[in-house]
Structure 1
Amino acid sequence: MPMQTETSDGCRWSDEEAMERVASEDDAQAFTFLVHRWRGAIERLCMRMLGDATGAQDAAQDVFLRLYIRRSDFDPERGRFSSFLWRMALNRCYDELRRRRANGEHEKRALELMQAVPGRDPTLKAVMCSEEGVLVRRALSGLPEHYRAVLVLRHYQGMKFREIAEILEVPEGTVCSRMAEGLHLLALELSTLREHARDGEGGTDAGKRV
């Protein structure tokens, strides 16, 4: 059963009901309801896919613009509103990643993430957590998009394999195989990044001792 949420004026709509009102009546209140309900989740997805907050906010705004423009494309008989919106958000991220690669921005962003790794600090635990987070973000940014999407939806959005399969419009078995392969590639990428970080730290310490 679709989940219903009560609006500020007491209306109770499911996502599907709200989207139907947007599609059939251009209902501004229903559209605002959907934006408020989903904006945070879509921004978080875009953040994980793109790796930066500003780009994520811009992408999320574009997603809701596309949602309104393509409001008549939603068909509740073909799937849930949430799957329709997640798919639209992923496609927007794919477009942005392709644009960045074409403009040479992907390598620049990866360098910025590495430069953001903090140096040594008395609060070692906090620093290590922060550093590890940066390394994971960079490792994710280096994965092919179809692996990154599955990892983000599964581990950061907490989705089940069947939900991811519905969003990506692929068999559930394909999602499982992409998950396994993506985790393997992520582990390899993290190992390489950690090794580079250790080498850089050792070189810095050696320079200080000279």
Structure 2
Amino acid sequence: MEILERNEPKGLSDAKRALLAQASDEDLLDAWDRDHQGAALAVLIQRYSAMVLSVCRRRCRCDADADDAFQSTFLYLAKNARKIRHPERIGGWLHRVAQRAAVAACQIAKRETEPMVEPTSTFLDPFEQLPRRHEAMVLDEELADLPEHYRSALVMHVYEGRTLEQVANDFGTSTGSIRGRLQRGKKILARRLRSRGVVPVFAFAAATVTAVASSTASAASQSLVGSTTAGDMPDPPIDLTVLDKLLGEGVRVGTSVYVATVMIAGTLLLGLVTVSAQCCDCRRVYTEPSP
């Protein structure tokens, strides 16, 4: 990745940090793109780390792949900041990039052959977590394929918990306009979810249940922020040309098949419960070094 120069003093004052923390997404993106302020990029990473990491972990079978997708999502943002046409909608933009990055982390053909690694924490109780994870993952897939103006409003209001007034202010429009977008977006989303056998209200609840803890997201963002402000921009774990291709397809990508098989027999109540799930490979994504 191209080395980006930064104009960020080591002793950034608390007052400036406070200003950045209150700045809009559009202003932060502009500060990163035009003024090379690493602190502005850091605020964006921290602001959306929980949403992005949650999307990645729902899709990926293991933490290593999810972390690769998480890092690649924000490094893709850092490289392509100038290309974002609607910076006020960056939440929806990041959601779609994260969903595609997670697909890439699971499905890229070139992988290292490794033994099975430890699964993500969401699989500690497979019998309970599998249906919820599946519902939330289908929601992510369908949300990623919504038109951007619907997707962004839903991400900001539902995933990020912002009020109608806050979303309207961020988007530079009226609350009535945002209310209309949310209603139309939810209607389209509900129809698509039901066509896949998923009840919308359960899917939204599952997205909340399967969201990563704030402490987990904070740790992930701090690690990434440290690498992006230490000097040269690190190479993303996932080849960004692969991510470009997935983002350019404009169709549903990487629909997963989950199979839950329950077998009852034996001595405890009705027997032994066996749950198996077909998900993405847990092997790490391998990216060839640049020549």
TM-score range, shorter chain: 0.5 to 0.7
What is residue 13 of structure 1 aligned with on the other side? 23
Cα pair 1:63 1:88 within 8 Å, conserved? yes
Q: CA deviation at 1:86?
A: 1.2
What is residue 96 of structure 1 aligned with on the other side? 105
Q: CA deviation at 1:176?
A: 2.5
Q: Does the C-alpha gap of structure 1 residues 48 and 17 become closer, same or farther in structure 2, counting only changes over 3 Å? A: same
Deviations 1:72-125 (A, max 9, x none): 111237x6111121121122122223326x86x9xx89xx87xx988xxxxxxx
- DSSP 3-state at the match of 2:263: helix
Deviations 1:43-83 (A, max 9, x none): 11100122322221221011111110111111237x61111
Q: How large is the RMSD of aligned CA atoms in angstroms?
A: 4.6
What is residue 127 of structure 1 aligned with on the other side? none
Code of the aligned partner of 1:198? M
Q: CA deviation at 1:172?
A: 5.9
Cα distance in 2, alignment partners of residues 68 and 22 from structure 1: 8
- DSSP 3-state at the match of 2:47: helix
Cα distance in 1, alignment partners of residues 25 and 72 from structure 2: 19
Cα pair 2:143 2:189 within 8 Å, conserved? no
Q: CA deviation at 1:23?
A: 1.5
Cα distance in 1, alignment partners of residues 24 and 104 from structure 2: 29
What is residue 149 of structure 1 aligned with on the other side? 141
The alignment status of 1:34 with 2:44, answered yes or no, reads yes
Q: CA deviation at 1:207?
A: 10
Q: CA deviation at 1:204?
A: 8.3
Q: CA deviation at 1:180?
A: 0.9
Deviations 1:159-181 (A, max 9, x none): 59x99xx9xxx976542222112
Higher share of residues assigned helix: 1
Q: Does the C-alpha gap of structure 1 residues 131 and 86 become closer, same or farther in structure 2, counting only changes over 3 Å? A: closer
Cα distance in 1, alignment partners of residues 77 and 138 from structure 2: 22
What is residue 172 of structure 2 aligned with on the other side? none
The alignment status of 1:180 with 2:194, answered yes or no, reads yes
Q: CA deviation at 1:31?
A: 0.6
Cα distance in 2, alignment partners of residues 58 and 7 from structure 1: 33
Cα distance in 2, alignment partners of residues 7 and 133 from structure 1: 46
Cα distance in 2, alignment partners of residues 25 and 9 from structure 1: 15
What is residue 198 of structure 1 aligned with on the other side? 263
What is residue 126 of structure 1 aligned with on the other side? none
Q: What TM-score does the superposition give when structure 1 sets the normalisation length?
A: 0.58
- DSSP 3-state at the match of 2:100: helix
Q: CA deviation at 1:136?
A: 2.2
Between the two proteins, what is the percent identity of the paired residues? 16
Q: Does the C-alpha gap of structure 1 residues 198 and 30 become closer, same or farther in structure 2, counting only changes over 3 Å? A: same
Q: CA deviation at 1:149?
A: 1.8
Q: How many residues align?
A: 167
Alignment map for 1:42-57 (pairs within 5 Å): 42-57=52-67
Deviations 1:5-39 (A, max 9, x none): x9873213011210111111121110111112222
Q: CA deviation at 1:146?
A: 6.3
Q: Does the C-alpha gap of structure 1 residues 8 and 96 become closer, same or farther in structure 2, counting only changes over 3 Å? A: same
Cα distance in 2, alignment partners of residues 146 and 131 from structure 1: 17
The alignment status of 1:136 with 2:144, answered yes or no, reads no
What is residue 171 of structure 2 aligned with on the other side? none
2:86 aligned residue (76, 83, 88): 76
Deviations 1:129-172 (A, max 9, x none): x24334326x729x9x8665238998xx9459x99xx9xxx976
Cα pair 1:18 1:31 within 8 Å, conserved? yes
Q: Does the C-alpha gap of structure 1 residues 204 and 180 become closer, same or farther in structure 2, counting only changes over 3 Å? A: same
Larger relative contact order (Cα-Cα within 8 Å, sequence gap ≥ 6): 2
What runs of 5+ residues in structure 1 fail to find an aligned partner? 1-5, 119-129
Q: Does the C-alpha gap of structure 1 residues 207 and 23 become closer, same or farther in structure 2, counting only changes over 3 Å? A: closer
